[in-house]
């Protein structure tokens, strides 16, 4: 099955998905900071894990800002 979509539609879907991933990362960061979750996202060491989560949030933010500025 083949699905056809315009560039604008694909752009909108990609940006929305990236924003959702970033929101999930921020939720994990906040929960890990508060100690609400005990499981590790990237590393068992809490401080190392928080730094790595923050790196991913920063990277996603950069990508989302780029795509939000690029006309679709």
Tell me: the pLDDT tens digits for 16-49?
999 999 999 999 999 999 987 778 999 999 999 9
Looking at residue 54, what is its pLDDT?
A: 97
Alpha carbon distance 7, 59 (integer Å)? 23
Who contacts 54 (Cβ-Cβ below 8 Å, separation ≥6)?
29
pTM metric for this prediction = 0.82
Position of tokens 């609400």?
36
Looking at residue 68, what is its pLDDT?
A: 81
């Amino acid at each position: 099955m083949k699905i056809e979509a315009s560039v604008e539609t694909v752009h909108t879907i990609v940006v929305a998905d990236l924003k959702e991933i970033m929101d999930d990362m921020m939720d994990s960061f906040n929960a890990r900071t508060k100690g609400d979750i005990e499981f590790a996202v990237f590393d068992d060491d809490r401080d190392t894990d928080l730094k790595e989560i923050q790196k991913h949030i920063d990277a996603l933010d950069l990508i989302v800002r780029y795509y939000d500025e690029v006309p679709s």
